[in-house]
Amino acid sequence: MMRYIAAFLLMSLLFCGCAKNSVSKIPQISLNAFLPMDSMRVNLDTVLLDFNLTDGDGDIGNAPASGIFYLDSRYPGGGFLRADFPAIDPSIEDPKKGLQGSVLFYPIPQPTPRTDTLHPTRDTFHYEFYVTDRAGHESNHVITHDLIIKRK
């Protein structure tokens, strides 16, 4: 009996001693802000996405598989546009600790109203966006609130 207790304690110590990252290696994002809040004026205001990012193995960065993907709701057939992450200092990459932070993203091109007869002075849209890491893992998708684009 004592042998089983000793073995159990030894196994417990081994499992507890392992410093394993419990955060998923698949990136997760959450929206902090989508600005401006309700409307923007063409060539006067700038659209900004502010979101939190967590990646358990920390392999976010400027690489062909890694990026920010966003879709303008008015053009679903056009597909997602891709933007690169800026270079991330390799000294902060640690697969055991992961990577966590806030991202400020300015979509390029900035949205403009459609020019058809249904939208002579304003247009409404929202973004759907997600990120991928260097391994190609795709994060959850986030959809912003609607924003009105006004011609001056």
Is cis: bond before 36, omega within 30 of 0? yes
**Would you say residue 1 lies in a domain?**
no
Quote the tokens at residue 26: 């698949």
**Would you say residue 13 lies in a domain?**
no
| Residues sharing a CB contact under 8 Å with residue 82, sequence separation 6 or more, in sequence order | 67, 68, 69
| Residue 41 lies in domain | 23-150
**pLDDT at residue 68 greater than cutoff 90:** yes
What confidence score (pLDDT) does residue 106 get?
93
Place of tokens 């998923």: 24
> How many domains, the chain?
1
**Would you say residue 18 lies in a domain?**
no
**Would you say residue 37 lies in a domain?**
yes
Is the whole-model pTM more than 0.75?
yes
**Would you say residue 2 lies in a domain?**
no
Each residue's pLDDT tens digit, 19-64: 555 678 899 999 999 999 999 998 899 999 999 999 998 888 888 8
**Would you say residue 11 lies in a domain?**
no
**Would you say residue 9 lies in a domain?**
no
- At residue 132, what is the residue type? T
CATH code of the domain in which 93 resides: 2.60.40
**Phi-psi map region of 79: left, alpha, beta (phi>0 left; psi -120 to 50 alpha):** left
Phi, psi of 102 (to 5 degrees): -110, 140
Among candidate residues 47, 35, 65, the one with its CA nearest the CA of residue 139: 65
Do 99 and 92 contact (CB within 8 A), yes or no? yes
**pLDDT at residue 2 greater than cutoff 50:** no
52/131 Cα distance (integer angstroms): 11
**Would you say residue 12 lies in a domain?**
no
Quote the tokens at residue 115: 């020019």
Residues found in the chain:
152
Each residue's pLDDT tens digit, 109-148: 899 888 888 888 899 999 999 999 999 999 999 999 999 9
